[in-house]
Structure 1
Amino acid sequence: MNSKIAIVFVALCHFAVAQKLPKMTKEKSNLPKTDKLVVYQIYTRLFGNLNTTNKFYGSISENGTGKFNDINDKALQELKKFGVSHVWYTGVIEHATMTDYSKFGIPQDNPLVVKGIAGSPYAIKDYYDVNPDLAVDVKNRMKEFEALVERSHKNGLKVLIDCVPNHVARSYHSDKKPKGIKDFGEEDDKRKTFANYNNFYYLPNQDFVVPDGVNPPVEVKNSYYESPAKATGNDVFSARPSINDWFETIKLNYGVDYLDNRRKHFDPIPSTWLKMRDILTYWTKKGVDGFRCDMAEMVPFEFWGWVIPEIKKINPDVIFIAEIYNPQTYKQYIFEGKFDYLYDKVGLYDALRRLMEGGGNANDITSVWQKESGDFSNRMLRFLENHDEQRIASRQFADDPFKAIPAMVVSAALHTGPVMLYFGQEVGVKPVVSEGFSGEDGRTTMFDYWGVTEFQNWVNNHNYDGGKLTNEQKSIREIYANILKFVHENEAVKEGKFYDLQYVNGNGQSVNYNDKKIFSYLRFTDNQKLLFICNFDLEKSYSTTVFIPQGAWEMMKIDTKVPVSYTNKAIFEKDLNSQIINQQTKAISTKESLRVNLAPNSVLVFEMK
């Protein structure tokens, strides 16, 4: 049974739950604003690339690259149809690269301080320009990006891009900045290690030393010279960072003196604050709808609490998402830093990953919402993949994309907050070779030129119709589409309250309920009540009972003296031959509990009325 997977979804109910409850209003504006965004991360350089050469450390001419223009109306329409609300275009802003664009007036970067031939999108080289790799006509690259923004909006999608506030490339120099804008470091006093008005941290009387082991796959024409050396992006205050450090980047100074017990100097407003506000203003005025802020916790929350309201004066609807990994600072970055959403990586992602790999404990999901996000669960961005994490289908992770389905349902439907997918997640992208700098690490490379084979099957010569997908790839994509459809069409998921049932079913309280592998919970509004039962066991099925306590019935405003019915509808089951078949799953209920049969690696959802 370990190769089977069952997904069972609820039949939609478009009428009042009971006569005693008010009918669902037709005036959507009266409903609470939903945080149930569906973010789709596109690695822009890889998304539309049709090249299949995939040479180790291949150049742009050998391995090719995707373009802004590849993301055409059809691609955007299909993403909208798939259930996406926001597209995060990763790698848009110009960053350091080993590709030579000097004939277009773009200074060439020294390969000794660049990671990968294509370069890291998180080593920004000019905050007022876009990546020339992504343009068909390099001279008109900004117009091509602006057209993509307009095209996205026309197709009903919001646009997110990266903000990389903590560091810049060692070669940073803006040749496209607007008049009156000063460059980072342009007015720094390099004799001082720290000054409130400096943009960088300096190591006076020391020259930067390229780390041992750096061996670029291209010709190195000149040595790299930096004097005095600047602190490296991952808070390394040494002129000799290691090859494992973010040696290609320079730490930006937000008024925190790291060498003086992190003493804060925020009055007067630090120069870096003002320059970063100008940058965010620039992109907001270009129509960008939000920013995914890289390593936001490495920048003081006081800056965010100042700059986010400043940007929302320009567009009140712009959103800010923080990449953050320290649960102890979550409240600080939301309530004082003013972020709209935070990454839920050190929490739900980690808990679900352990379960997908065959270990873990389903009770950890309870711990996540209790300890980390209980009072701001709607502000946590849930995900199972992004450019930093290993692909689910990789041998370093679950080795099978179908093992993620219960976890994806929980990610999408645990609370009212947003959910994110990484491009190709929905077709089971499985990296199996080393692409170049990134090595064979289970990730889709973010440093190299590459063609993502499984995703190219969906792109299908830019028809974006899945014409080359295998049956298995079609199956996994259909499952994801059904999950997102379910999220959008069910009020209880988008706006409803949450009730965890683990505490009344675990520890032997319910018959054959293995709380280490089974997780159950309720989502409900006045108009809709849903019961979720997830079996994360990859091998075992369970015939079990799920108990619902009196307190839950009272919160849902259901009178248990009146018979309660449970309605479910089987959508599909994947068997060994990757065929889609219908299956009806029956449940037997009493007033307080429900007896169910759970297949391995499965989800049941019931509507109660």
Structure 2
Amino acid sequence: MSFLQHSIIWQVYPLSADLRQLKAAADNQPTGSSQPERSGENSSQALTLARLEHWLDYLVNLGCDTLLLGPIFDSVSHGYDTTDHYRIDPRLGTDHDIDSLISQCHRRGVRLILDGVFNHVAASHPMVNYDGPIKRDDSGNPVGWEGHDELVELNHQDPRTEDFVAEIMEYWLQRGIDGWRLDVAYAVPREFWAAVVDRVRQQYPHAVFLGEMIHGDYIELIHQGHLDSATQYELWKAIWSSIKDRNFWELAHALERHHDFSQQAILNIFVGNHDVDRIASIVGDGGAALAASILFSLPGCPSIYYGDEQAFRGLKGEGFGADDPIRPALPDYPEHLAQEGQWLWQVYHDLIALRRRHSWLSTASVEVKDKDNESISYRLSAPEGFLDVHIDIRDKFRADWEFNDGEELHYSW
């Protein structure tokens, strides 16, 4: 059993738009000109690793116990185009900063998971030009990932790739992190993950491995890849789509499937992340609160994308910078947040507290009791008790939780 079974994650994307632009400005400076600060110290909105420490008490007070960071290693632009997995991106800070963040997390009982991009590297990565374990076509040219020439696929059939990935994982686990999110895990052979994970766990048996699974067989990835969890995109889609389209038949179908999945593994459940439109932009403030009430009632390991608990807005765009609206910078301190989102923070806080008091929800079974276009009722059951949930959007957004021990929660927005 991994710690993810009872974790609640706060996910942050540190390389926000202002930091990307800062590096672009530095890279485009004429020879001999003064360079902007790569650490972002001259930007009050730059969420460097040092400034991220200011937010640790915020996530603890919210009820979270795990911090999941987007890419923090040296990269060309957005972090998923890595150039050096052993170096902290200078836009985010230094070795001292990551060591301090790890220490401050653990002082608060917060576990730290890093984003591991091990399907591809930047085209400018040194190994691309020096006969590294890169996938190449018949002419010997590097193969771009999904048509992105700036991202070059690793050759997972080359034994050197296993060494490359395992050694990176072990290095940062030795530094004190607690696990890895595996970017585009679905695109990597299952047997590769199994070999790497088994090797790493020989030294770090308590490390966790969360695979990104946008489509495909969640349970196959987890079991064959020897992972702890995978991202439950099917449930994510059903939650927002059912609210937006007033079609809880879709959610009912997803819940029945989620029940089957959850009998076999702990899945990472969410209503937002760094790759999708903000939930409040899709369904409004009341819909975002309702989505949270569904999320925290279900089995699995919930994750909160930073700002969703404050009703942040953001829709993906097109072309360069398409993800910038959903990957904003945070202010230096939580106290600098606008007060308009405080009410939703309180909803999240109360839902998480309720879930903490009934920790059996993370592995409970799910049974849909009733449904129509604008309402759904389902029961969560475990040996410790049961929870009846009723969701209704006929007149307003309404969520009712009723436990068998008499504890109740009633919300309407």
**Paired residue for 1:414, among 292, 298, 301?**
298
Q: Secondary structure at the match of 1:302?
A: helix
Alignment of 1:62-461 (within 5 A): 65-72=46-53, 74-96=54-76, 119-135=77-93, 141-173=94-126, 183=127, 186-188=130-132, 198-204=133-139, 229-234=141-146, 245-255=147-157, 270-327=159-216, 329-345=217-233, 347-357=234-244, 359=245, 361-371=247-257, 374-376=260-262, 378-394=265-281, 397-398=282-283, 400-415=284-299, 417-431=300-314, 437-439=320-322, 443-445=325-327, 452=329, 455-456=330-331, 461=332
After TM superposition, give the deviation of residue 288 of structure 1 in Å: 1.3
Task: Give the share of equivalent positions with the same residue, in percent.
Answer: 19
After TM superposition, give the deviation of residue 278 of structure 1 in Å: 1.3
Over 3 Å counting, the alpha-carbon distance change for 1:66 and 1:34 in structure 2 is: closer
1: CA distance, partners of 2:278 / 2:125: 31
After TM superposition, give the deviation of residue 436 of structure 1 in Å: 8.8
1:486 aligns with 354
Over 3 Å counting, the alpha-carbon distance change for 1:442 and 1:408 in structure 2 is: farther
1: CA distance, partners of 2:219 / 2:159: 24
Q: Tell me if 1:500 matches 2:340.
A: no
Compute the TM-score of the two structures, normalised by the length of structure 2: 0.85
2:31 aligns with none
- 1:308 partner letter: V
Identify the structure with bigger relative contact order (alpha carbons < 8 Å, sequence gap 6+): 1
1: CA distance, partners of 2:2 / 2:91: 42
1: CA distance, partners of 2:236 / 2:212: 13
2: CA distance, partners of 1:250 / 1:478: 43
Q: How many pairs were matched up?
A: 395
2: CA distance, partners of 1:541 / 1:270: 54
Q: Secondary structure at the match of 2:6?
A: coil
On the 8 A contact 2:287/2:397 being kept in 1, the answer is: no
2:29 aligns with none
After TM superposition, give the deviation of residue 91 of structure 1 in Å: 2.2
RMSD of the TM alignment (CA)?
3.4
2:389 aligns with 532
On the 8 A contact 1:93/1:127 being kept in 2, the answer is: yes
On the 8 A contact 1:389/1:443 being kept in 2, the answer is: no
2: CA distance, partners of 1:293 / 1:32: 16
- 2:78 partner letter: S
2: CA distance, partners of 1:318 / 1:146: 18
2: CA distance, partners of 1:430 / 1:404: 11
Q: Secondary structure at the match of 1:386?
A: coil
Q: Which of the two has greater helix per residue? A: 2
| CA deviation string 1:403-436 (max 9, x = no partner) | 1222222222211x10011111111112389799
Over 3 Å counting, the alpha-carbon distance change for 1:499 and 1:371 in structure 2 is: closer
2: CA distance, partners of 1:524 / 1:354: 25
1: CA distance, partners of 2:258 / 2:407: 33
Over 3 Å counting, the alpha-carbon distance change for 1:78 and 1:65 in structure 2 is: closer
Compute the TM-score of the two structures, normalised by the length of structure 1: 0.59
**Paired residue for 1:45, among 11, 15, 37?**
15
Q: Secondary structure at the match of 1:126?
A: strand
- Consecutive unaligned residues in structure 2, runs of 5 or more: 27-39
2: CA distance, partners of 1:126 / 1:33: 29
Over 3 Å counting, the alpha-carbon distance change for 1:282 and 1:32 in structure 2 is: closer
- Consecutive unaligned residues in structure 1, runs of 5 or more: 1-30, 97-118, 136-140, 174-182, 189-197, 205-227, 235-244, 256-268, 446-450, 507-514, 547-555, 557-563, 575-609
